[in-house]
Amino acid sequence: MRMSDPRWWLLDDLVLARSAIDRAAERRTDQAWVDGARVDPSSRFVRVHQGTAAIDGDRLALDASVPEHVLTSLLGIDADGVAYFCAHYDEAPALADSHRWADLRMSGSSLDAMDAGLMVASVALDNWSRNHRHCPECGGGVTWRDAGWSRYCPVDDSSHFPRTDPAVIVLVRDDDDRALLGRQVRWEPTWFSTLAGFVEAGESAEAAVRREVEEESGVRIGTRPEDLQYLGSQPWPFPASLMLGYHAFASDPSIDVDGEEIAEARWLSRAELAQACATGEVSLPPAVSIARKLIERWYGEPLPGDWSRPLIKPSR
């Protein structure tokens, strides 16, 4: 298969993989610069609270300052030299009437590249910060370092950094070019998506694809190199995943779901998928997800918004 074949093209429209900011990692250890940037009137702050950010319409609701007691993490610098920070709130501050709290599933697809990159990094750092308040080695308290990008334990002199957990997500195709979609046991009866799972310790991403597909659906992926095609990655900070997207080609399409993670799996042609979505029998992942892009790449064009399953709003 030639690299010019469309089946080799990488996904270039992954919503949460977009970014338009220089992360300026070299500035994180320059405490004097960070302190100055935090009080610079041109700097901007993304308010985050328990996986959500403050949104104003289709843009982030950025603040020009934050209270002194609020912890912040440096996100980066734009082309004009403006510094951006994530402001971590344990208690949700009051919002203006036009603002709202929204998570990435709700708002990610409507943000531009700048705001999407800022929000993804903010949510990822905030999730890590809330879940790592103590040293994992001794249980002692930790201090913030590197402009919010590391934690230091003075008891055992250890440093700790944000974790990213690799996960694979794959749309499997058979010899008739049908797509395999599955429904998790905890999902609504109409909700279907591509198969996915975490990469285990000591395992390659490609081995994880083959293992997860067979464990969950019983379908076996071919052993040829061209039977497994990497297409792109997208951060998915729920709480700390990096989704590695693939198309794969089945050598044995027999379905035998595990019943523990996957309740049902189906082979669907493009016509069958369109019919099932049009009647409401099948609902697909939202546009913000890499799963949706993997399906659309196989389908050959963007899919209608009303084929998506509903988004669940945060409780606050």
CA distance 267 to 284: 14
| pLDDT by position in tens, the chain (length 316) | 333 445 456 888 899 999 999 999 999 999 999 999 999 999 999 999 999 999 999 999 999 999 999 999 999 999 999 999 999 999 999 999 999 999 999 899 999 999 999 999 999 999 999 999 999 999 999 999 999 999 999 999 999 999 999 999 999 999 999 999 999 999 999 999 999 999 999 999 999 999 999 999 999 999 999 999 999 999 999 999 999 999 999 999 999 999 999 999 999 999 999 999 999 999 999 999 999 999 999 999 999 988 999 865 443 3
Lookup: tokens for 106: 């709700």
> Dihedrals φ, ψ of 154, to 5°?
-75, -15
CA-to-CA dists, residue 160 to 9, 121, 132, 228, 288, angstroms: 37, 17, 9, 35, 30
> Dihedrals φ, ψ of 205, to 5°?
-65, -40
Please report the domains of the chain, with CATH numbers, ordered by start residue: 16-129 (3.90.79), 132-162 (no CATH), 164-307 (3.90.79.10)
Amino acid identity at 228 = L
The reported pLDDT for the residue numbered 310 is 81
CA distance 2 to 257: 34
Lookup: tokens for 250: 């089945």
The reported pLDDT for the residue numbered 314 is 41
CA distance 62 to 19: 16
Q: Decide: pTM greater than 0.85.
A: yes
Residue holding tokens 């019919």?
Answer: 275
Burial degree of 263 (CB within 10 A; 0-12, 13-18, 19+): middle
Can you list the positions of beta strands (E) in 113-238?
A: 143-145, 150-153, 158-160, 165-173, 179-184, 195-198, 220-221, 228-236
CA-to-CA dists, residue 149 to 90, 137, 155, 258, 293, angstroms: 18, 18, 19, 39, 31
The reported pLDDT for the residue numbered 312 is 56
Burial degree of 58 (CB within 10 A; 0-12, 13-18, 19+): exposed
